[in-house]
Amino acid sequence: MIGVIGGGIIGVATAYELAKLGEEVVVFEKRYFGSGSTFRCASGIRAQFTDEANIKLMKYSIERWKELSEELGHNIMFQQTGYLFLATTEEEVEAFKKNIKLQNRFGVPTKLITPEEAKEIVPPLNVEEFLAGAWNPEDGKASPFHTLYAYKKAGEKLGVKFYPYTEVVWIDGGREHKWKIKTTKGEFEVDVIVNATNAWGSRINSMIGKDIVPITPFKHQLVKTEPLERGQIEPLVCPPAWNDSYVIQDGEDGGVICGTALEYKSDPDDVTPTYDFVKEVLKWAVKIIPALRHVHVVRQWAGHYAKTPDNNPAIGELVEDFYVAIGFSGHGFMMAPAVAQALAERIVKGRTKVPLDWEWYDPYRFERGELRTSAFQIG
């Protein structure tokens, strides 16, 4: 039996993939499923990264995203509405060109477009201050709610047992013995553990005396406007030089989700939103889309980026039969389909066809002082 700790998108998708391979799986979630970062994310999915490992992983993940509604038997609202990054200086245009070349090398069809072309894609965009855009029409978005629900339902059909409001408080055993997982709902014995608790990941690793993945939770927030007519800001639009701010129209109801890189170190259980975020994010949002000035904000919420020192997750085997997939640094939703499949195949078969570079994401790299190039992060 395999015990997955953490009921966000990574834990639930991994449980499903494990069950698909014939494993008996239990998942422990201390609150309700999705209550961590997953239900608080901006729904964005992109292959526009600036390093080989993340580009390849996300290229594959997008292929999986395309299949999921049919495979899981529920519409997860995946739409390839693209990501549009906007450059404000010549130096940025040069950096975009370099990134585009790298992305093209691995089959990601990003191209450099003019401000006029950008305005055709996003009609209310203020193009005056932009010199060029990096546009990948294959990037997109999906509903975090429907995706988690779909994986969970499909997992249940394959026999996965999901335990909500069941906090893991201690772990014993390992090596030749089974793992004993002590929870608020009793004790469980499992052969393999997957730690999928992201921002809480270090706490679970500490329970087995292996707190070697440095994760710092940073509170990140979003606001959302009242619903607008669809088709106006369908891609995620981000001028990185404007404090990594972004806007994206919700794929379901048409409200505009707005984010910016105002972050605070914070306990992952503290999800209280702050007023200074509203002022900061709206300052940038109305610069990107001036017409948003006339639209009401109806919601604000907070979640956490579980940041590692190089903004890349830690994925792999920490000790025998104890795996981690944590520290997603703001990219766990988009990566989940690929990571879940790769991890499940590695655990069950010892190998995977997913192009996941285990060396790049090695949880031991921090201890060895081998940081990777920082993963390209926004908001």
Summarize as ranges the residues that interact with ligand FAD (CB under 6 A): 5-11, 28-31, 35-38, 40-44, 167-168, 196-200, 220-222, 259, 303-305, 328, 330-334, 379
Q: Which is nearer to ligand FAD, 121 or 336 (CB)?
A: 336
Q: Which is nearer to ligand FAD, 9 or 150 (CB)?
A: 9
Quote the least distance from Cβ 17 to ligand FAD, whole Å. Answer: 13
Quote the least distance from Cβ 116 to ligand FAD, whole Å. Answer: 27
Pair of tokens at residue 358:
């285990």
Q: What are phi and psi of 327, to 5 degrees?
A: 75, 45
162, β-bridge pairs: 27
Pick from 371, 364, 12, 357: which is nearest to 161 by CA?
12
Quote the least distance from Cβ 38 to ligand FAD, whole Å. Answer: 3
Q: Which is nearer to ligand FAD, 307 or 346 (CB)?
A: 307
Q: Which is nearer to ligand FAD, 103 or 198 (CB)?
A: 198
Quote the least distance from Cβ 53 to ligand FAD, whole Å. Answer: 16
Contact 291, 124 (CB under 8 A): yes
**Residue 256: alpha-carbon gap to chain centroid:** 19
**Rg (alpha carbons) of the chain, rounded to whole number:** 20
Q: Which is nearer to ligand FAD, 132 or 139 (CB)?
A: 139
Quote the least distance from Cβ 114 to ligand FAD, whole Å. Answer: 26
Sequence-distant (6+) residues with CB within 8 A of 16 are 72, 151, 152, 154, 155, 158, 160, 340
Q: Which is nearer to ligand FAD, 110 or 198 (CB)?
A: 198
Pairing outcome for strands 2-5 and 25-28: parallel
Measured distance CA(116)–CA(99) in Å, rounded? 21
Quote the least distance from Cβ 94 to ligand FAD, whole Å. Answer: 26
